[in-house]
Amino acid sequence: MDDRQFRNAMGKFATGVTVIATETDGQVHGMTANAFMSVSLDPKLIVISVKEDAKMLHKIKESNHFSVNVLSCEQQEESMIFAGQKQPEEEFQFDYLEGVPVVRNALVQLSCEIYNEHVEGDHTLFVGRVTEMELKDGDPLIFNCGKYRELKEMESVSN
Ligand code: FAD
């Protein structure tokens, strides 16, 4: 079982795409992430997974807060910018929710504070307690097998 094969296997699991954002010393830092999951309703908890060499790791630890922004199908560019795949043409403007930077026009904006963290292998899992959220209508951006995709409705199945 080599690394490439493991990545290919994990990439077959289709996900949405988020941008994680945090602020330290007045500087906002964003990072594209699809390792995101809802954890608990009471209290409202989510989890994200950040690799050990990501700049984001220490920034989240320092600020104790981060946002998770679920991207819409019109935000592939934002995903590419915060994955280091594309340079923004102009300075990227963030909005704020409960004092935490959030991505404008994301389908969901969650502001979170660190509730717990676990180092697991070469990633750190941050469990975040959701302190506020905003929702919008629209379709999500999808990531599968290393490619961005859009949702397509399938014929409904009647039993
Ligand atoms: P950098 O690589 O320095 O920053 C990321 C990019 O964002 C840079 O190009 C930087 O210029 C830009 N940027 C940051 N802040 C700003 C700002 N304020 N204004 C303008 N541009 C800014 N990695 C994980 O650890 N976990 C995951 O779950 C994960 N999921 C991914 C899902 C997808 C679909 C993709 C494409 C990548 C994913 N990655 C994930 C990889 C991760 O997004 C990249 O490795 C990323 O470059 C790591 O960011 P960094 O914090 O090290 O900082």
- Compute, in angstroms, the gap from residue 124 CA to the centroid of ligand 1: 15
Question: Does the structure show a pLDDT above 90 at 1?
Answer: no
pLDDT at 15 over 90: yes
pLDDT category at 85 given cuts 50, 70, 90 is: very high
> Which phi and psi (to 5°) does residue 107 adopt?
-65, -40
Identify residue 124 by its one-letter amino acid code: T
Mutational test site, ligand 1, from 31, 37, 61, 81, max ligand atoms within 8 Å of CB: 31
Closest Cα to atom 24 of ligand 1: 50
Q: Among 135, 132, 82, 66, which Cα is nearest to 107's?
A: 135
Distance from the alpha carbon of residue 26 to the mean position of ligand 1, in angstroms: 19
CB of 149 within 6 A of ligand 1: the answer is: no
DSSP strands (E only) in the chain: 15-16, 18-24, 27-33, 36-40, 45-51, 65-70, 94-97, 100-103, 108-120, 123-135, 141-144, 147-150
- 86: confidence class by pLDDT, cuts 50, 70, 90: very high
> Does the beta carbon of 94 sit less than 6 angstroms from any atom of ligand 1?
no
The percentage of the chain sitting over the pLDDT mark of 70, rounded to a whole number, equals 99
125 lines ligand 1 (CB under 6 A): no
* Ligand 1 contact via 50 beta carbon (within 6 Å): yes
Of 46, 14, 52, 51, the C-alpha closest to 32 is 51
pLDDT at residue 159 greater than cutoff 70 = no
Task: Answer whether 113's CB lies under 8 Å from 64's CB.
Answer: yes
Q: How far is the CA of 43 from the centre of ligand 1 (A)?
A: 28
What is the rounded average pLDDT of the residues 95-123? 98
Compute and round to an integer the Cα radius of gyration of the chain.
16
What is the residue whose two structure tokens read 């990501």? 54
pTM of the predicted protein model: 0.96
The tens digit of pLDDT for each residue in 18-65 reads 999 999 999 999 999 999 999 999 999 999 999 999 999 999 999 999
- Taken as a whole, the chain contains a residue count of 159
Phi first, then psi, for residue 132 (nearest 5°) are -165, 155
Residue 155: its pLDDT value, please?
A: 84
* pLDDT reported for residue 126: 98
